Amino acid sequence: MRIKHHLSQSLQLQPTPSPWPRMILSGLAVGFPLLVGWQRGELQIAIFGSLFGFIMILNDHFGPLSRRVLHLITAWLFIITGVVVGMLLSTNAYLLMLAIFFMSFMVGKSKGLGLELERMLLFTTLQLMAASQQPEIKAHFMQALFYSSFSLLSYLICLCLVYLIMRHQPNFQKSKRQELREAFTRKETNRYAFTMAFMSCIGLWFAQYLHVERGYWVVGTILIVMMPDRYQSLYKSLQRLLGTLIGVVVASLLIKLGKD
């Protein structure tokens, strides 16, 4: 696929289902926690809640309303569990390695079964890593839990409002339970899943050995760019490099232009 064609496909608004409900939900779910945090003088920790709003939109789908609510609550519980487990294992390197191995293996097994299951497991693993590598999160856990819960609640309320006002054709595919069952029964993905799990553990060990700041993103990058096909992995690696470069340039400009 040529770069020009890939960019046009990436930037195109897909006509079905309509992108507007998802766009409106994303803006509201991300914006509300930030407004509350700004009013309470806790903007930094409120960013954690706003990121949860963004995670909710990535784990949502255009199915029946009851199914969507159940999926969102399930995803929220998984990710919060990842945070709690990460905090508990922050002082036990061996159990942390086992947890990362298992979660990375599950991310590998979920490849190709639907983005919702893969994203839920991916974000759970990332939160587990982040909580285990940032001891200061323990002191702010209740605030983080408040803003993430507020983000989920505001998303669900906005979801009901947007669903009633902007009705759209349901597009429900499979439940996460069914996808997980399929992931466990697929034997052809075992080699790829084990490889991803081993590479994640090796990446974490190298990050800790070299004292890399926020080294959990080494594991995150492995989980994101490593695909069953080698050419897909190379393509996603190039995308990751380009995206990181653009992000660094934009962030550097914002830092120079802004006062805070």
pLDDT in tens, 7-24: 555 555 444 455 677 777
Rounded Cα–Cα distance for residues 79 and 128 (Å): 8
Supply the pLDDT for residue 174. Answer: 56
Tokens of 20: 């507007």
- Over the stretch 207-226, which tens digit does the pLDDT of each residue have? 888 888 888 888 888 888 88
Q: Judge contact between 96 and 179, C-beta under 8 A.
A: no
pLDDT given at position 112: 65
**Residue 140 main-chain phi, psi, to 5 deg:** -115, 20
Find the range with the poorest average confidence among 177-186, 204-213, 228-237.
177-186
Predicted local confidence at residue 185, as pLDDT: 67
Q: At 245, list the tokens.
A: 């470069």
Q: What is the pLDDT of residue 193?
A: 86
| pLDDT for residue 245 is more than 50 | yes
Q: According to the model, what pLDDT value does residue 249 have?
A: 94
For 14, which DSSP code?
Answer: P
The identity of residue 225, as a single letter, is: V
pLDDT of residue 14: 45
pLDDT in tens, 71-116: 888 888 998 999 899 988 988 888 999 999 999 988 888 776 666 6
Q: How many CA atoms does the CB half-sphere of 45 hold within 13 Å?
A: 19
Question: Global pTM?
Answer: 0.74
Q: Are 145 and 80 in contact (CB under 8 A)?
A: yes
pLDDT of residue 115: 62
Q: Report d(CA 49, CA 80) in Å as an integer.
A: 11
